[in-house]
Amino acid sequence: MGHAAILTVDDDPSVSRAIARDLRRRYGEQYRVIRASAAADALQALKEIKLRGGRVAVMLADYRMPQMNGIEFLEQAMDLFPNARRALLTAYADTDAAIRAINVVDVDHYLLKPWDPPEEKLYPVIDALLDAWQATGDRELEDIRVVGHRWSEPSYQIRDFLARNLVPYRWMTSDGPEGRRLLEAAGCGPEAIPLVVTADGRAMARPSNQEVAEAAGLSTAPGRDFYDLIIVGGGPAGLGAAVYGASEGLKTLLVERQAIGGQAGQSSRIENYLGFPDGISGVDLTTRARRQVGKFSAEVLNTREVVGMRADGSARTLRFADGGEVSAHAIVLATGVAYRPLPAEGIAALTGSGVYYGSAATEGPSCSGEDVYIIGGANSAGQAALFFSRYARSVTLLVRGDSLESSMSFYLIQQLTQTGNISVRTRSEVVAAHGNGHLEAITICDGKDATQSTVGCGSLFVFIGAEPRTDWLGDAVARDERGFVFTGPDLLSNGNRPAGWDRDRDPFYLECSVPGIFAAGDVRANSVKRVASAVGEGAMAVTLVHRYLEAQ
């Protein structure tokens, strides 16, 4: 197919020539630079590339163009090359308008004109866009095919695992023509669902997440037995620690049992994270962080569950569920938290079949025309309500408290108020879920007068509280009564160091009750439950790891 293309369109001839010249100077040997002076010409060029089976890596469009502006052009261009990275060219006077318009087509960046010198203002942006494109390629989302049923919990688990790990796949129902053909070709019946068919034609009936991960090319085995630093958990805190650890020369391993990104990776849009004034989705933030982790050569270990930890002299050892072990000089615990199970009648039986914990973005299109209910009053619940409002007929947020003000950010409350098909019911709790094979209705108790009502419900998403994933630690490190890990000053009782502490110093701020083991992010007792603070603690933990290693 030849070189992939970088396409630029600008109706100002001098600007068009200048950017094409600068792009060819830097990227001409690896990419084909195509220049157009009108949006219609650029669309025609894209159609010809598509017909010839070519690829487009980056599209740059002027914001102000006659007949069709840059936003309108990129909307149409995305239909032809949805994986190409997109940027707007804009004058300083149009910056605010361009930023507001970015959300319309999920533009990756905007470039101010003029961009001199290109080495500082143009090339770093294009390099980042090309890196992002190369990470996803220009593949159709059908490398892996999944045959299942919407109301099958194992089918949902496989889809959710693939989506959260950014693995392209194509979903087909077991009662549809393509699904039936695949089941027949694999010699399987409906009892085999979910059926996963890899790009090379290998069929796997009801596979485990680890089998799917291996088939998708995700790493599931460590490359060595000993590391400088092992991080348990791939959420914002773990990713922050991995980036800083590897970038500072530590041989670093990140272990994640389910999906890189953690709960933050499920957020439809995070709008209060520094540096992203237009917001960023959890998937995009995770994708960028994962690329950084790879850039600095940190290893990522997928679908491996850690079940134990011990100190072996100066080494710190983790034990996996399959009996394998891996050791390091230091360990950072960044396992985050899990949503607390909803203690209501019928919920457990319908989990994965209409009842979901977290945003479950894979279910968005399936909720089209349905009445969706969301339980919770924190930011994650508000973000989910906005996301599902794009698909559902109605979204009802059920909040146990008297209002949202004490638990949700003000900007989110404003957005919920301004969205017509979202309603909020305070002092309300779900006490039962009903359905035959899948969720059909829920019973809500109104705390104002203790009355109960049963309403039809297609999907229920639960965001109640948070529990740390620390049962596997046992007595290895000190934890509070809820399981959160004590660190630093919280370990000192009346000025006394924790029992068994064998260092002539107090524990470092993020250090646990065992020297060389640190905790960062939501799993830490008394931490601030925000993405930014988790990333910061991950970075801080690496600084303290260096101090620990220097003192060894």
Specify the number of domains making up the chain. 4
Q: Is residue 167 part of a domain?
A: yes
Cβ-contact 315, 325 below 8 angstroms: no
Nearest to residue 396, comparing CAs of 384, 406, 408, 407? 384
Q: Is residue 513 part of a domain?
A: yes
Same domain (yes/no): 442, 362: yes
Under DSSP, the state recorded for 192 is G
Q: How many residues does the chain have?
A: 552
Which residue has 């319908």 as its token pair?
350
Same domain (yes/no): 161, 125: no
Mean pLDDT of 94-112: 69
Nearest to residue 512, comparing CAs of 305, 232, 293? 232
Q: Is the pLDDT of residue 99 over 70?
A: no
Same domain (yes/no): 266, 364: no
Nearest to residue 131, comparing CAs of 82, 85, 80? 85
- pLDDT tens digits, residue range 498-521? 988 999 999 999 999 999 999 999
The percent of residues above 70 in pLDDT, for the chain, comes to 96
Q: What mean pLDDT, rounded, does the chain reach?
A: 90
**Which three-class secondary structure string do you get for 87-121?**
EEEEEHHHHHHHHHHHHHHCCCEEEEECCCCHHHH
Cβ-contact 122, 115 below 8 angstroms: yes
- Give the Cβ contact number of residue 181 at 10 Å: 12
Of 441, 462, 483, the last residue of a domain is: 462
- pLDDT tens digits, residue range 129-188? 998 888 765 544 446 889 999 888 999 899 889 888 878 788 889 988 888 888 888 888
| Residue 166 belongs to domain with CATH number | 3.40.30.10
pLDDT at residue number 116:
84
Same domain (yes/no): 107, 195: no
pLDDT at residue number 107:
79
Collapse the DSSP code of 68 into the 3-class scheme (helix H, G, I; strand E, B; otherwise coil) and give the result: coil
As a whole number of angstroms, the distance between CA 210 and CA 204 comes to 12
Q: Is residue 433 part of a domain?
A: yes
Q: Is the pLDDT of residue 20 over 50?
A: yes
Q: Is residue 95 part of a domain?
A: yes
- What is the reported pTM? 0.75
Report the DSSP pairing between strands 371-375 and 306-312.
unpaired
As a whole number of angstroms, the distance between CA 99 and CA 109 comes to 9
Binning pLDDT at 50, 70 and 90, where does residue 279 land?
confident
pLDDT at residue number 91:
79
Q: Is residue 266 part of a domain?
A: yes
Same domain (yes/no): 369, 433: yes
Same domain (yes/no): 376, 458: yes
As a whole number of angstroms, the distance between CA 369 and CA 276 comes to 32
Binning pLDDT at 50, 70 and 90, where does residue 93 land?
low
- pLDDT tens digits, residue range 220-266? 999 999 999 999 999 999 999 999 999 999 999 999 999 898 888 77
| Residue 381 belongs to domain with CATH number | 3.50.50.60
Greatest mean pLDDT among 279-283, 409-413, 499-503, 536-540 lies in: 536-540
Q: Is residue 221 part of a domain?
A: no
Of 215, 235, 255, the last residue of a domain is: 215
Binning pLDDT at 50, 70 and 90, where does residue 489 land?
very high
Q: Is residue 325 part of a domain?
A: yes
Same domain (yes/no): 360, 320: no
The percent of residues above 90 in pLDDT, for the chain, comes to 60
Same domain (yes/no): 46, 121: yes
As a whole number of angstroms, the distance between CA 478 and CA 513 comes to 6
Beta strands, E only, 14-143: 32-36, 56-62, 85-91, 109-113
Q: Is the pLDDT of residue 2 over 70?
A: no
Same domain (yes/no): 491, 450: no
Same domain (yes/no): 230, 191: no
Domain range for 523: 226-338+467-550
pLDDT at residue number 50:
82
Binning pLDDT at 50, 70 and 90, where does residue 95 land?
low
- pLDDT tens digits, residue range 311-363? 999 999 999 999 999 999 999 999 999 888 999 999 999 999 999 988 777 78
Same domain (yes/no): 230, 369: no
Q: Is the pLDDT of residue 14 over 60?
A: yes
Mean pLDDT of 416-422: 94
| Residue 130 belongs to domain with CATH number | 3.40.50.2300
pLDDT at residue number 141:
40
Q: Is residue 220 part of a domain?
A: no
Of 462, 482, 502, the last residue of a domain is: 462
Contact partners, residue 99, CB within 8 Å, separation at least 6: 110, 277, 278
Q: Is the pLDDT of residue 435 over 90?
A: yes
Q: Using CA atoms in the order 134, 138, 141, 145, what is the torsion angle rounded to 10 degrees?
A: -80
Same domain (yes/no): 171, 51: no
